[in-house]
Amino acid sequence: MTKTVAVLGGGKDSLGILRRIKEMGLRTIVFDGDKEAPARKYLADHFVNISCYDTWHIIHYWHTVSSQCREPGFLPGRALCQ
């Protein structure tokens, strides 16, 4: 069972923590308002084009996906914030 971690922000400053998360064998969902965020191309398992400052939309997205997701390890109540 692979767990999934949400990371708020996919800019170059997030790449180090994303690498560490991947080394730990975890999957990532990255939220960033920049469609060209570096994490999207290199380290995100799933990228969501929502600004990391737009908490309402992030929470709405997270709960919508988690209610539809039957995948083991998807934990809607936990997030890693930068």
* CA-based max dimension of the chain: 32
Helix (H, G, I), strand (E, B) or coil at 5: strand
> For residue 81, is it within any domain?
no
pLDDT-above-70 percentage for the chain: 78
Residue 27, beta-bridge partner list? 4
CA 73 – CA 32 distance, rounded (Å): 22
Within-domain flag for 26: yes
Query: Residue 66 has what pLDDT?
Result: 66
Out of 1-5, 7-11, 44-48, 50-54, least confident range? 1-5
Domain of 51, in residue numbers: 4-68
d(CA 18, CA 76) in angstroms, rounded, equals 18
At residue 11, φ and ψ (nearest 5 deg) are -75, 180
CATH code of 8's domain: 3.40.50.20
pLDDT at 70 over 50: yes
Tally of domains within the chain = 1
pLDDT tens across 14-51, in order? 999 999 999 999 989 999 999 999 999 889 999 999 99
Residue 5 φ/ψ, nearest 5 degrees: -115, 135
pTM: 0.78
